[in-house]
Amino acid sequence: MDFALLWLGLLLPLVAALDFGYHHQEEMEAFLKDVAQNYSSITHLHSIGKSVKGRHLWVLVVGRSPKEHRIGIPEFKYVANMHGDETVGRELLLHLIDYLVTNDGKDPEITNLINSTRIHIMPTMNPDGFEAVRKPDCFYTNGRENNNFYDLNRNFPDAFEFNNVSRQPETVAIMEWLKTETFVLSANLHGGALVASYPFDNGVAATGSSYSRSLTPDDDVFEYLANTYASRNLNMRKGDQCKNKMNFPNGVTNGYSWYPLKGGMQDYNYIWAQCFEITLELSCCKYPREEKLPFFWDSNKASLIEYIKQVHLGVKGQVFDYKGNPLPNVIVEVQDRRHICPYKTNKFGEYYLLLLPGSYTLNVTVPGHEPHLTKVIIPKKSQDFSALKKDILFPLRGKLDSILVSNPPCPMIPLYSTLPSHSAATKPSLFLFLVTLFHILLK
Ligand SMILES: *[C@@H]1O[C@H](CO)[C@@H](O)[C@H](O)[C@H]1NC(C)=O
Ligand SMILES: *[C@@H]1O[C@H](CO)[C@@H](O)[C@H](O)[C@H]1NC(C)=O
Ligand SMILES: *[C@@H]1O[C@H](CO)[C@@H](O)[C@H](O)[C@H]1NC(C)=O
Ligand SMILES: *[C@@H]1O[C@H](CO)[C@@H](O)[C@H](O)[C@H]1NC(C)=O
Ligand SMILES: [Zn+2]
């Protein structure tokens, strides 16, 4: 009999503090506050705003310096439950938090990750929607939208067409949050399908819409990122797991090829916030029974961790003037992959560019001065918890004033107004249109 007690005693410390069940706002807050208190040196809990009904939008940050950015440490984020009735991601992120904090200093991979990365985790972007679901349903419930009946994944500015919607408090909170950190990589967790979907979600002929797709200049990186997630999730990578839904080879798809949408969050992140974001659809059933949650955690844990590590792809560094002062607001881009809104150094003069191994030319430009071109070779094994580090000395002649004043803000909406717009010829095919009708309520 003492054996049983002994075993229990040995096992208890290993048992996660968090149970597998749905955590409503109050329980979720209690858990997050507990974590922030018990692991105060590596976590920082803060609210980025409030929902329509006044619920806090919590973000827990995990990192060696959780309260503030440190030079060279990239910022990563996960956001779940923006559709309040897509619930798996919400619980997965709570378990991810539990897993990260309890394995720090124990598991070398997690310790390295926490040492090298600042990880921002937002378990719910739509707490009102989650609480509004009266009867959990696999397909659709009122909880998808926020409390003003807006779909938050249609509520962002759109670069391809004018998105005339009233910006909701949850959306505004995210837009403001994105300005406060230099986020590099992100994923947005949904349910109702099993696929990793990458930008763009909207498009025009110039991005490939005549071929029923819409690709970014960083498409190689995005496909790699989506595959990194999908290939570690046994069901997702099979590609056709949800009955009557589309077949996704290897469990990945371009967002627009699946179906176009306007005002989505991933396009907004990539275009306006210099942050690569993909959309993860994690369960055929949007709101599964809670007995299924351990299965979802087991099948997503490796993917969730491996995806965070990808924030260390490519190259990073600071841009300095000849006196060694860091230069903010300098455009640093790879030649031939220019962004709609040019990616610029932050206030510490830092840049982060996610790139696969290969040889690239960086174009470093201070508006009003000659561009400075410099070669960089990203080695094959370049991501041992750090991107290749390359600081750049900008050979600046003359005055610096022009960059200290920040350049005109990018968003001229729509950014593609001068390009050929949607027309009959560039609309997706009838087949895609029908697919759209059936799938409009997923991502
Ligand atoms: C925090 O610590 C308290 C006291 O040791 C413990 O009861 C609780 O389960 C811990 N919670 C978490 C989330 O670690
Ligand atoms: C992680 O950081 C801690 C604290 O700064 C340090 O003691 C430890 O050696 C680091 N571990 C790894 C694996 O880098
Ligand atoms: C935007 O919506 C408002 C209110 O619905 C309407 O008055 C306005 O004309 C719309 N603007 C455009 C450009 O569609
Ligand atoms: C470098 O970037 C600047 C600003 O984005 C652009 O105007 C210029 O054409 C680019 N030069 C080259 C050689 O790519
Ligand atoms: Zn969704």
Atom nearest to 162 CA in ligand 3: 13
CA of 283, nearest ligand number = 5
Contact 207, 298 (CB under 8 A): no
pLDDT of residue 311: 98
Q: What is the pLDDT of residue 40?
A: 98
Separation between Cα atoms, residue 228 and residue 332, nearest integer Å: 26
Catalytic residue, candidates 281, 290, 306, 350: 281
> How far is the CA of 251 from the CAs of 183, 208, 254, in angstroms?
26, 21, 11
Q: Cα(144) to centroid of ligand 5, in Å?
A: 8
Ligand 1 atom 14: the closest Cα is on which residue?
35
**Residue 288 Cα distances to 39, 193, 227, angstroms:** 31, 12, 25
pLDDT at residue number 400: 63
Residue ranges of the chain with pLDDT lower than 70?
Answer: 1-16, 244-245, 382-383, 397-409, 411-440
Taking the centre of ligand 3 as the mean of its atom positions, its distance from the CA of residue 164, in whole angstroms, is: 6
Ligand minimally distant from the alpha carbon of residue 166: 3
Distance 106 CA to ligand 2 centre (A): 11
**What atom in ligand 1 is closest to the CA of residue 39?**
14
Q: Please tell me whether the peptide bond between 420 and the residue prior to it is cis, using omega within 30 degrees of 0.
A: no
Contact 166, 183 (CB under 8 A): no
Structure tokens at 37: 């208190």
Closest CA to 335 of 311, 312, 353, 317: 353
Atom of ligand 2 nearest to the CA of 108: 13
Question: If DSSP codes are grouped into helix, strand and coil, which group holds residue 223?
Answer: helix
Is 75 an annotated catalytic residue? no
Of the residues 162, 164, 417, which should be mutated to test ligand 3's pocket, given the most ligand atoms within 8 Å of the CB?
Answer: 164
Residue among 195, 215, 197 at smallest CA distance from 205: 215
Place of tokens 């920040």: 406
Residue range 68-89, pLDDT digits in tens: 999 999 999 999 999 999 999 9
pTM over 0.75: yes
Domains and CATH numbers, the chain: 18-312 (3.40.630.10), 315-400 (2.60.40.1120)
